[in-house]
Amino acid sequence: PENFAKYKEIVKDDIIKDFKVSIAADEIGRLENVQVPDYQVEEQMEAIRKDAAESKQELDENMIRGKVEATLQRQAVFDWLAERSQLQVEFEDDYFDEALMEKLAKESLEREEQIAAGKAATPESGKLEPVGVEAPAAVDAAVEENVVPV
């Protein structure tokens, strides 16, 4: 439960963004009458049927068809938008936190030294316990500060 709460908090913004994009794409498709040819849906459905038969899995065609149609519709909308857009792409350098990397490297070296000195559990000892718990805290802090993309 605790890990799920952390996971949920980390992905919450991405899920909201994806949901908004989906709703916008659906609305643009409706307003601009962007259609997906039936043969494209059938091609995808045939590939899915084949995969399901090979893996001997049951297939709910109605549910799958709806998802396939929605996915293809959104792709068609994005293609439609790309054809009509006049965007200028600007590349930006990714942010690199040198201090965070130094801290993580230092903590990693400390753990290696503890293992080498026999002060830490090793895979051979059969006791795998975390050593230097501060590294995950540093990673969590970096994620919270949006320093590390997730």
Token digits for 6? 């952390």
As a whole number of angstroms, the distance between CA 69 and CA 72 comes to: 5
**Which residues are within 8 A (CB) of 127 and not within 5 positions of it... i.e. 6 or more apart?**
121
pLDDT tens, N- to C-terminus, the chain (150 residues): 788 888 888 999 999 999 999 999 999 999 999 999 999 999 999 999 999 999 888 888 889 999 999 999 999 999 999 999 887 877 777 777 888 888 888 988 888 888 888 765 544 544 444 444 444 455 555 555 554 444
This prediction's pTM = 0.52
**Are 5 and 138 contacting, i.e. CB atoms less than 8 angstroms apart?**
no
**pLDDT value at residue 23:** 94
**Are 34 and 77 contacting, i.e. CB atoms less than 8 angstroms apart?**
yes
**pLDDT value at residue 148:** 44
**pLDDT value at residue 117:** 80
**pLDDT value at residue 16:** 93
Nearest of 150, 146, 139, 144 to residue 108 by alpha carbon: 139
H helical segments located in 55-97: 61-84
**pLDDT value at residue 145:** 54
**pLDDT value at residue 144:** 56
Taking CA atoms, 5 is separated from 56, 76, 133, 139, in Å, by 35, 35, 20, 17
**pLDDT value at residue 133:** 42
Q: What is the CA radius of gyration of the chain?
A: 24
